[in-house]
A and B are shown apart, each in its own frame.
Chain A
Amino acid sequence: MLIKPLRYMLGCLALLGGTMAGAQNLSSIASMPVGQVLSPEQLSALGKMPSVDIDGQTYLVVPVQAGGSSTTLIDSSRRLGRTDNQVSIVEQPTDKVRSQLAGLLGRAASVKYYDHMNITLVRYASIQQAVQGLADLRAAMPGAAIGLPVSFSQRKIQ
């Protein structure tokens, strides 16, 4: 009589343990320095992860950690990168950006204009929204230098 519930409970515990181990792995990965290359074993231990395409490159997305405003990505060489979910529009006068992209910029979490540098930084709530935002902004301003920077190197004193 007790065997079925016991099995069920053990199954749940195993699942919970696996989930917790996966979460721990994800947490440790998210805190690793960018540029670090994961071993194949480290990567497979992370389990299945969502992916995004940015400029023809596919990246695995390490699920966002609580409170973080950036996203950790993994490229095809198992290298860790980081993005602030921020699209940059550069070498474009900011008043032109304001007028031409007004409708699209409303979807962003925040927009920062550097008028004297012709730079606009558009931050989104998630990497997925940022990827969509990148596509929308490029379509609305063809030919402009618009990108979604991903860093693979941590700046340090040298």
Chain B
Amino acid sequence: MKCNSAYIFEIIQFTFYVRIRISTNFKEKREEMHCKTYWVIYLKRNFKYLLLPVAAASLVACGGGGTSQDSPVSTCIEAGEYACKSGETEPLYSLQWVLNYAKSYFSINAEADAFGGGIDLNVEPVHRLGYKGQGVKVLVVDEGVDIGNEDLKPNIDRSMSWNFRTMTDDPTPLQIASAGAHGTNVAGIIGAAQNGKGVMGISPLVKIGGALWLGTDNMNENHVEALGGASWSQKADIINASYGGDLGSATYSIESNMDLAALRAMRGLRNGKGIVYVKSAGNSFDSDNFGYDIRCGDLYGFYDCINPSNDVSTLEPTAIVTAALNAKGQASSYSSAGSVVWVTGMGGEGGNLGKYGEISSGTISRGSRSKTLTHDGPNVYSTDVRGCDAGYSFKDAFTTFLKGKSELRPGIKDNENCDYSSMNGTSAAAPTISGVVALMLSANPDLTWRDVRDILRLSARKVDMGYEKRTRNDVTASLKLPYNSLFDLTSNSFTVKTGSKEYVFDNSTQVPVEFGWQMNAAGDYFSNWYGFGVPDAYKAVEIALDYKKDPTKSKASLQAVPTFSQLKIVSGFNYQSVMKIAEFQSKSSTVDAFQVRLTGENICLGNFGVVVESPAGTKSYLKMPLDHFATDDLHTFKNFGLSSYAFYGENSQGTWKIYSVASNPSFFPDKNDGNPQFCSAAPATGTFASNAKLWVEARVIPQ
């Protein structure tokens, strides 16, 4: 049935004409607003019992429904063939559970262990209002974008594109089977066109630029170029950064890292409103799988032993760091966790089995290698580098779809030319958020980068509540103990007991390494796995429109970043327990981020975690007690930065407490060969390293 807002409106009007006497107050507001959307919101607040069934029935009849909530009825702002239609016009839309969860192919065809209990981004109601990213420019800084793909071509802006390899404005990547398609997938997730072909982007009317930057020479200087330094990149409203480098212990100071300088400078671009920078958190929760010689030993699967904040650009509030959710409404098995995560987008799981990723268990093989998978599920569908000899869809790919042989409709090949594929990772999750941001900016282009960040937070939904109490059983790990099991700092192993943040106190020797969702004193829920949660696109656009009506809600683009305060030089360091290492006295302000910076000599960086407690009593893990630096035996470091958003909105006034949560540096179980490793700066006997020195700095970045 054709979706016609006037039709729905008539149903509502008729219903109310029959049953409800319209109040004087309502009439006044109707005249004032001349806005059918307002009718719905107003009526819902006043007559929920009546309106919801009517609206729901109307929307289902018009191709809406699913998990979409608060679906509005409104005047359509869009014209043309696809005006205010969502992805039902696109042949592969049913595979796009990210936009259309309840009615997706997977809701009927997937195994229960692959799909179910999840959510989508609630974009359909926004599309039906006609907001589809019009007027918004998104730059995909990546390994290139195939600008000739039929679903990207209508939206490509070559004046916002660059190829650092060929030094031309054509960012099309090399044609390599199983590779080179990352940026093309990212671009399609954000802005594949609505044209009756293939898939649909979250913001199908957005303009897309592509930069082929990853893997080229002079990446530092070229990064500045790509982040607004060049005339072509300055045009961007949003930059999507589905990349990172999280293995180092880089110096957190603006003069030592060009990325930081560029991110700070980006705040002044976009006519002073600041470019919105969306960044992937990383895929290192299962770091053993990643082939970087990172070993988390017996801890594998319990927590992310590679902190996303090791990529110092994530420490900047400018970066909207995005984690990934799978189709079961839980963190994707690989999704990096840490206190710098701002929100969660959709990344799915491996999508390796069956026709489209609908199968949860099985074996994949290529050549002589094979791997058995369990608890797998679909990933995120998008555009690919064209052709069956290039990109992620190619003749030797795993699923029938990626081989170009599947048929959603009998007799019609879905992907005959291999122009479409699917991708997982926080690389996929970040562009789902960039797409939502584009919808927000098309509704209100005056939002500053800080407004965007705030609105994402305000619209976010808490998912997987109580996750810290469940055990793990997903695509890569099966654990018998829950995530909030107490970790014994003496033996470097988990116990069968569980605990909460209350276990982190001076001299404690057993602590949980995951607190789960925590409500802070400002009333915000935050989680190291999910940040503030999964944005709801409709709610985000609704708030964006509220900001338009009331610009006083907007925050200025330029945000003061105070210098770090030197708190203490810790001489001698105690391992195998919790120790309060410093206190920070803060004046009154509203907290955006709390940051710590550490410089150490003869102290095993991989063997201590950091927990910060705010004056209001909120606690946050900024670093885990036994992370991958232990395998590197790193014991000299300078200006190592950490940050947390768990205190967002709290009053900073009072005493902040900084704790070290130190494990046993003389014993680190090595999963790969079973041989224990040692930190060479560990004390020869006992728990106290007398020659260790730790310089502790901290600051509050106010809102």
Q: Is the CB of A158 within 8 A of B244?
A: yes
Listed stretches B100-108, B213-221, B452-460, B567-575; interface member = B213-221
Interface status of B91 (Cβ within 8 A of chain A): no
Interface status of B286 (Cβ within 8 A of chain A): no
- Chain B, residues 205-224, CB within 8 Å of chain A (1/0): the string is 00000000010011111001
Interface status of A119 (Cβ within 8 A of chain B): yes
**Interface residue count on the A side (C-beta < 8 Å):** 38
CB distance from A96 to the nearest CB of B (A): 15
Within 8 A of B (CB), among A142-158: 145-158
Q: Is the CB of A90 within 8 A of B254?
A: yes
Residues of B within 8 A of A57 (CB): 638
Residues of A within 8 A of B597 (CB): none
Interface status of B427 (Cβ within 8 A of chain A): yes
Q: Is the CB of B224 within 8 A of A156?
A: no
Interface status of A31 (Cβ within 8 A of chain B): no
Listed stretches B20-28, B628-636, B646-654, B665-673; interface member = B628-636
Q: Is the CB of B243 within 8 A of A155?
A: yes
CB distance from B164 to the nearest CB of A (A): 13
Interface status of B310 (Cβ within 8 A of chain A): yes
Q: Is the CB of A90 within 8 A of B310?
A: no
Q: Is the CB of B253 within 8 A of A147?
A: yes
Interface status of A43 (Cβ within 8 A of chain B): no
- Complexed CA–CA distance, A135 and B636 (Å): 23
- Complexed CA–CA distance, A69 and B282 (Å): 29
Interface status of B31 (Cβ within 8 A of chain A): no
Q: Is the CB of B220 within 8 A of A149?
A: yes
Q: With A151-B250, A153-B311 in contact, is A158–B218 under 8 Å at CB?
A: no
Interface status of A7 (Cβ within 8 A of chain B): no
Q: Is the CB of B214 within 8 A of A157?
A: yes
- Complexed CA–CA distance, A42 and B467 (Å): 44
Q: Is the CB of B242 within 8 A of A157?
A: yes
- Complexed CA–CA distance, A114 and B261 (Å): 11
Q: Is the CB of A152 within 8 A of B249?
A: yes
Interface status of B66 (Cβ within 8 A of chain A): no
Q: Is the CB of B247 within 8 A of A35?
A: yes
Interface centre among B248, B261, B426, B633 (most CB of A within 10 A): B261
Q: Is the CB of B243 within 8 A of A91?
A: no
CB distance from B701 to the nearest CB of A (A): 16
Residues of B within 8 A of A152 (CB): 247-250
Interface status of B283 (Cβ within 8 A of chain A): yes
Interface status of B258 (Cβ within 8 A of chain A): yes
Q: With A155-B214, A158-B426 in contact, is A86–B243 under 8 Å at CB?
A: no
Partner of B256, one of A37, A76, A149: A149
Listed stretches B264-272, B358-366, B577-585; interface member = B264-272
Q: Is the CB of B250 within 8 A of A158?
A: no
- Complexed CA–CA distance, A17 and B311 (Å): 41
Partner of B310, one of A34, A91, A119, A153: A153
Residues of A within 8 A of B251 (CB): 55
Interface status of A79 (Cβ within 8 A of chain B): yes
Q: Is the CB of A153 within 8 A of B246?
A: yes
Residues of A within 8 A of B256 (CB): 55, 147-150
Interface status of A118 (Cβ within 8 A of chain B): yes
Within 8 A of A (CB), among B242-294: 242-251, 253-258, 261-262, 264-266, 268-269, 280-284
Within 8 A of B (CB), among A109-158: 112, 114, 116-119, 121, 123, 145-158
Residues of B within 8 A of A114 (CB): 224, 229, 265
Q: Is the CB of A158 within 8 A of B221?
A: no
- Complexed CA–CA distance, A37 and B680 (Å): 15
Look across to chain A and name the residue whose beta carbon is closest to the beta carbon of B215: A156
Interface centre among A37, A69, A146 (most CB of B within 10 A): A37
- Complexed CA–CA distance, A93 and B374 (Å): 56
Q: With A91-B254, A158-B426 in contact, is A119–B245 under 8 Å at CB?
A: no
Q: With A114-B265, A155-B219 in contact, is A121–B224 under 8 Å at CB?
A: yes
Q: With A77-B632, A146-B255 in contact, is A156–B214 under 8 Å at CB?
A: yes
- Complexed CA–CA distance, A146 and B228 (Å): 20
- Complexed CA–CA distance, A82 and B311 (Å): 16
Residues of A within 8 A of B217 (CB): 69
Within 8 A of B (CB), among A38-88: 55-57, 69-70, 76-77, 79, 84, 86, 88
Q: Is the CB of B182 within 8 A of A157?
A: yes
- Complexed CA–CA distance, A37 and B221 (Å): 25
Q: Is the CB of A156 within 8 A of B243?
A: yes
Interface status of B203 (Cβ within 8 A of chain A): no
Residues of A within 8 A of B634 (CB): 77, 79
CB distance from A53 to the nearest CB of B (A): 13
Q: Is the CB of B264 within 8 A of A91?
A: yes
Q: Is the CB of B245 within 8 A of A84?
A: no
CB distance from B479 to the nearest CB of A (A): 24
Residues of B within 8 A of A151 (CB): 220, 245, 248, 250
Q: Is the CB of B425 within 8 A of A158?
A: yes
Interface status of B120 (Cβ within 8 A of chain A): no
Residues of B within 8 A of A148 (CB): 256
Residues of B within 8 A of A90 (CB): 254-255, 258, 261, 264-265
Interface status of B509 (Cβ within 8 A of chain A): no
Residues of A within 8 A of B638 (CB): 55-57
- Complexed CA–CA distance, A35 and B242 (Å): 20
Q: Is the CB of B632 within 8 A of A79?
A: yes
CB distance from A119 to the nearest CB of B (A): 5
Q: With A156-B244, A158-B282 in contact, is A86–B220 under 8 Å at CB?
A: yes
Report, nearest first, the 3 A-B pairs whose CB atoms are least far apart.
Answer: A147-B255, A153-B245, A153-B248
**16 A-B residue contacts at CB 8 Å?**
A35-B248, A86-B220, A90-B258, A117-B228, A117-B266, A118-B265, A119-B261, A145-B255, A145-B261, A152-B249, A153-B310, A154-B245, A156-B243, A157-B242, A158-B244, A158-B280
